[in-house]
Amino acid sequence: MLINIERTAFLEVNSLQKYKKLFFSTFKLCASTFGGGFVIIPLMRKKFVEKLGWIEEDEMMDLTAIAQSSPGAIAVNVSILVGYHVAGFLGAMLTVLSSQRLAVCFHPVLS
């Protein structure tokens, strides 16, 4: 992948701040989204493309297409790919944790 201006700008920010921003952005999106995995895609696009400028529009479309073709929940797949694209392996792990945090916490309570 080519490093573009937005990703370079992301990498220049203090590493702790960027990872916190990535984690909490994904956490808020996943915590407030109801209606299935496809609902989160436009919200992630709005957050990461329009507001933060970390990803370009065509890159988000490509990541969404890859996520759709991968097995598993699309919300988790998109989170993994966005996190990896923006911040590498650690970013992917943070976005997975943030997207599944509520499910892991509430599953034992509701069972």
On whether residue 12 sits in a domain, the answer given is: no
pTM: 0.76
**pLDDT class of 93 with cuts at 50, 70, 90:** very high
On whether residue 1 sits in a domain, the answer given is: no
Q: What is the mean pLDDT of residues 60-70?
A: 90
pLDDT for 12 beyond 70: no
CA distance 95 to 53: 17
Total structural domains within the chain: 1
**CB within 8 Å of 14: residues ≥ 6 apart:** none
On whether residue 74 sits in a domain, the answer given is: yes
Give tens-digit pLDDT for 36-53.
Answer: 778 888 888 898 899 988
Residue 38, pLDDT score = 82
On whether residue 81 sits in a domain, the answer given is: yes
On whether residue 2 sits in a domain, the answer given is: no
CA distance 60 to 98: 19
On whether residue 23 sits in a domain, the answer given is: yes
CA distance 31 to 98: 9
pLDDT for 105 beyond 50: yes
Range of the domain at 44: 18-110
On whether residue 46 sits in a domain, the answer given is: yes
Q: What is the mean pLDDT of residues 14-22?
A: 83
On whether residue 13 sits in a domain, the answer given is: no
